[in-house]
Amino acid sequence: QAESLIKQDIIWLKHPRIPDAPLKIYFDIEGDPLLQVQYLFGFWVVEGNKPGRYISFLAEQPEDEKNLWDKFVQWVRTLPNTDYQVYHFADYERSRTLGMAKQYGGADIIQPFVDRFIDLSTTVQESIIFPLYFYSIKDIAKSKFLNYKWRHPKAGGAQSIFWYEKWLETGDRQVLQDIIDYNEDDVVATEYLHHWLDQSAKK
């Protein structure tokens, strides 16, 4: 890590090998630990060479969390039985999804979905040393090596929580839209990182 920081360059440990699939789903959850609610499940869905599309399930109020969950489970039921993978960054999506399945039910449907999870943060840790002090998706994607940009300059997990609590206080739907836009940028950034890792592996 010190060598990477001094050189301000990447050190490759090994070429990443990421399982591919005809249907790729990129997943990110927004949650508020103080209110103990998961208020947004967001997905970037890429099928073959078709343009990606964003799908989200939102709890506009904390008491809507179960409704969010039920809609998510219904959507998982519609996924094809053909091969697909679910890509995410860090363990939050896995732990929260399994936790909510235990809380609200549907584990028999959700477990096969979770079994397809691929944590790109693990891939990064095993493959690359970045000249960075923090390894969040934002630190990596915003670095000079990827140069991905979020739409909102203040975008971040803490900012999303602030926006959600502001939305609950004011009912300002623009604030709610900021949360959704931020989440969409997050899942697109996850795809962007996946593509960058794949391209780097081919060099």
* Strand, coil or helix: 39: strand
pLDDT of residue 153: 78
pLDDT of residue 59: 98
Is the torsion defined by CA of 180, 186, 187, 191 positive or negative? positive
Count the residues in the chain: 203
Neighbour-count burial for 59-94, b at 16+ CB within 10 Å, e otherwise: bbeeeebeebbebbbeebeebeeeebbbbbbeebbb
**Listed residue (117, 76, 126) closest to 94, CA to CA:** 117
Q: Are 45 and 61 in contact (CB under 8 A)?
A: no
Place of tokens 């840790």: 125
CA-CA distance, 65 to 86, in Å (whole number)?
A: 22
Q: Check residue 152 and give its pLDDT.
A: 85
Q: pTM for this one? A: 0.94
Tokens standing for residue 187: 């899942």
Q: Which of 29, 47, 30, 164 is nearest to 88 (CA)?
A: 29
pLDDT at 88: 98
What is the helix (H) or strand (E) element at residue 87, kind and residue range? strand 84-88
d(CA 9, CA 36): 39
pLDDT in tens, 19-40: 999 999 999 999 999 999 999 9
pLDDT beneath 50: ranges in the chain = none
